[in-house]
Amino acid sequence: MTVRLLRVAAATEAVTLLLLLVNLATVHAPAVAGAVGPVHGAAYLAAIVATLLTPDAPAAARWWAVLPGVGGLLAVRRLGREAAA
């Protein structure tokens, strides 16, 4: 369950980061940043918590999860590597 939550949180974190960057590079609408920013922050925190709650998560995955923006995706990748080994 926590790995599934981590995948959803990591994908949400990445997509919302992309939306924030596109908004910043184009129209820079405060309403977009105000709506997407908190979702991005919540997804970032959810990815960290989901990684920490995963019982067999290696230390490397826990450290990767803390990186802003892409940490959740890197943690998912690391957990996938550990499962394949």
pTM confidence score:
0.91
Structure tokens at 41: 């922050």
Q: Give the mean pLDDT per block of 10 residues along the chain (85 residues).
A: 92 97 97 97 97 93 94 94 74
Element holding 18 (H helix, E strand): helix 2-25
Residues 6+ apart with CB under 8 A from 48: 65, 66, 71, 72
* pLDDT reported for residue 81: 82
Per-residue tokens: 20: 């924030």
The pLDDT value given to residue 85? 65
